[in-house]
């Protein structure tokens, strides 16, 4: 019997035991509908039901989601779609204001998002720019308000919850408005370099078609494509259509992103959207910025990038985890958790968010009873889960990517899954892709 089947059988056994103990109640664990396969059986047990987590997210309009679905009819997750869309928009508006697709436009990016006349659509913003008006672009993802280091000072977070079908229950999503600390509003970083433009704004991308964040690829690519469509429908930039080039980032275990960057730099891109993973961005940022090209991520959150020596050419539309750490800590402690375990992947994203989460949990009066940093390449997590179980927390925060499904499967096997203990996730794992992977035993 393979390991994934063992886990599904174990999960079913635990679910049935919980049903027996709750006999006669209206608890969701009494739903014992049996489907015709192991995968659907796992889903009907709803082992992820009640798991909660945070991700940068606004209440997207039905109109915007419908337009994304026109780009990708199979889309069932909108994580970072708005941030991807806004990243492209900000670049286009900065180029229009600078009147060049050369490196000089990077000096306009932060100002496009603050301290001017409000506008929120391409045609309206371009009209103001053409009239010589300083603009303050408020995007689909929120007000942005970039600091001098090219990252947003204001953000909206969605508090996401898994339902009984191991998928996100949209009707349970709530939102929290948050701001970075006052000292995050730093002075403008000087742009270094002399790259000239050719008059055609060309935007590449390194977004995850493969790897541990592949579930984020479809919404990010949909946002990328929709923004370019809207810009070109609005007349383009510098009098010409914007060119978009899509490419895979893979993850930090491969050199996919580096190869993609090489290919796109050879095609004279003026900007590259991505990567989604902070760890991947850190492997290619020097190559991109050394070429005098803007790198603009819709999803990087590691605070290591806040002070990186990026020649003033790195930007992101997702807030630093300094903000997410505070928001996730509030969600956990507002739910009454007092003794929290943290399990986080060993990369810039995982360790950074774990640090900020612990700091804010303790500031809120909670105790972190154990913090386990794991190898993201590991195939089993028994030792980590055993240690967490022994620490007897009343809540567990998982800071990870695709491998979070394996961690959760191990937690369910050992009797500390989301039906037994409060479990929380983050932007790296809170998506329908997690539920699909868990159901498939991956």
DSSP states of 359-383: HHHHHTT-EEEEEEEE-TT-S--HH
Please say if the pLDDT value at position 23 is more than 80: no
pLDDT at residue 103, as a whole number: 98
Using H for helix, E for strand and C for coil, what is the string for 389-418?
A: HHCCCCEEEEECCCCHHHHHHHHHHCCCCC
CATH topology of domain 80-150+189-318: Rossmann fold (3.40.50)
pLDDT at residue 377, as a whole number: 86
Average pLDDT for 329-338 = 97
Please say if the pLDDT value at position 312 is more than 90: yes
Q: How far is CA 330 from CA 173, 202, 357, 430, in A?
A: 16, 41, 9, 17
Fold agreement between 3-57+161-175+322-439 and 80-150+189-318: yes
Single out the residue of 109, 104, 99 nearest to residue 130, CA to CA.
99
Phi/psi of residue 46, nearest 5 degrees: 60, 50
Average pLDDT for 423-442 = 93
- Treating both helix axes as pointing N-terminal to C-terminal, what angle do 404-413 and 3-21 enclose, rounded to 10 degrees? 50
pLDDT at residue 28, as a whole number: 31
Q: In the chain, where are the structural domains located?
A: 3-57+161-175+322-439, 80-150+189-318
Q: Which residue has the higher pLDDT, 23 or 288?
A: 288
Please say if the pLDDT value at position 151 is more than 70: yes
Residue % of the chain over a pLDDT of 90: 84
CB 297 within 8 A of CB 272: no
What is the DSSP annotation of 130-144? Answer: HTT--EEE-BTTB--
Helix (H) or strand (E) holding 388: helix 382-390
Kindly tell me the burial class for residue 64, based on how many C-beta atoms sit within 10 Å of its own C-beta (0-12, 13-18, 19 or more).
Answer: middle
Please say if the pLDDT value at position 299 is more than 80: yes
pLDDT at residue 77, as a whole number: 86
Single out the residue of 98, 131, 134 nearest to residue 115, CA to CA.
134
Q: How far is CA 333 from CA 230, 337, 356, 397, in A?
A: 42, 5, 14, 12
Global pTM reads 0.81
CA angle 56, 61, 67 (to 5 degrees): 100
Confidence of residue 14 (pLDDT cuts 50, 70, 90): very low
Please say if the pLDDT value at position 38 is more than 60: no
pLDDT tens column, 354-383: 999 999 999 999 999 999 999 988 999 999
Q: What do you get for the CA distance between the two ends of the chain, in Å?
A: 15
pLDDT at residue 177, as a whole number: 93
Average pLDDT for 398-417 = 96
Structure-block tokens of residue 247: 């490419």
CATH topology of domain 3-57+161-175+322-439: Rossmann fold (3.40.50)
pLDDT at residue 215, as a whole number: 87
- Treating both helix axes as pointing N-terminal to C-terminal, what angle do 217-233 and 81-98 enclose, rounded to 10 degrees? 40
Please say if the pLDDT value at position 245 is more than 80: yes
pLDDT at residue 39, as a whole number: 36
Strands 243-245 and 294-297: unpaired
Rounded distance between C-alpha atoms, residue 419 and residue 161, angstroms: 13
pLDDT at residue 36, as a whole number: 30
Rounded distance between C-alpha atoms, residue 130 and residue 132, angstroms: 5
Average pLDDT for 183-187 = 94
Average pLDDT for 409-424 = 97
Structure-block tokens of residue 31: 């739903």
Instruction: Produce one character per residue of 386-402: b if its CB has 16 or more CB atoms within 10 Å, e if not.
Output: eebbebebbbbbbbbbb
CA angle 359, 301, 205 (to 5 degrees): 170
- Which SS3 state, helix, strand or coil, does residue 246 take? coil
Rounded distance between C-alpha atoms, residue 33 and residue 56, angstroms: 34
């Amino acid at each position: 019997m393979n390991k994934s089947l063992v886990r599904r059988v174990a999960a079913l056994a635990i679910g049935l035991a919980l049903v027996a103990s709750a006999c006669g109640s209206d608890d969701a664990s009494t739903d014992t509908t049996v489907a015709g396969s192991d995968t659907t059986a796992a889903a009907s047990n709803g082992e992820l039901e009640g798991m909660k987590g945070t991700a940068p997210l606004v209440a997207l309009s039905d109109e915007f989601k419908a337009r994304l679905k026109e780009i990708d009819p199979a889309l069932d997750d909108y994580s970072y779609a708005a941030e991807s869309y806004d990243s492209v928009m900000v670049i286009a508006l900065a180029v229009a204001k600078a009147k060049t697709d050369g490196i000089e436009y990077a000096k306009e990016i932060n100002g496009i998002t603050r301290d001017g006349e409000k506008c929120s659509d391409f045609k309206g913003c371009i009209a103001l720019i053409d009239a010589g008006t300083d603009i303050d672009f408020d995007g689909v993802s929120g007000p942005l308000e970039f600091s001098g280091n090219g990252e947003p000072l204001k953000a909206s977070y969605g508090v996401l919850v898994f339902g009984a079908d191991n998928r996100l229950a949209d009707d349970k999503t709530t939102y929290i408005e948050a701001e970075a600390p006052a000292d995050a509003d730093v002075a403008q970083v000087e742009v270094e370099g002399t790259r000239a433009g050719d008059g055609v704004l060309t935007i590449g991308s390194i977004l995850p078609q493969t790897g541990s964040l592949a579930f984020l690829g479809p919404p990010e690519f949909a946002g990328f494509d929709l923004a370019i469509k809207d810009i070109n429908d609005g007349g383009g930039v510098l009098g010409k259509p914007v060119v978009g080039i899509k490419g895979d980032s893979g993850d930090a275990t491969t050199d996919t992103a580096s190869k993609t960057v090489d290919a796109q730099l050879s095609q004279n891109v003026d900007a590259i959207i991505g990567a989604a993973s902070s760890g991947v961005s850190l492997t290619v940022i020097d190559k991109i910025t050394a070429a005098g090209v803007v790198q603009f991520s819709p999803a990087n959150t590691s605070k290591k990038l806040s002070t990186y020596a990026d020649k003033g050419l790195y930007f992101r539309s997702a807030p630093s985890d300094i903000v997410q750490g505070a928001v996730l800590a509030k969600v956990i402690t507002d739910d009454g958790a007092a003794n929290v375990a943290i399990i986080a992947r060993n990369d810039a994203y995982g360790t950074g968010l774990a640090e900020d989460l612990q700091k804010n949990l303790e500031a809120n009066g909670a105790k972190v009873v154990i913090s386990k940093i794991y190898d993201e390449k590991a195939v089993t997590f028994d030792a980590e889960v055993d240690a967490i179980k022994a620490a007897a927390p009343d809540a567990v925060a998982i800071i990870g990517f695709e491998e979070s499904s394996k961690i959760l499967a191990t937690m369910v096997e050992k009797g500390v899954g989301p039906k037994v203990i409060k479990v929380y996730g983050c932007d790296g794992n809170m998506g329908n892709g997690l539920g699909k992977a868990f159901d498939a035993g991956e």
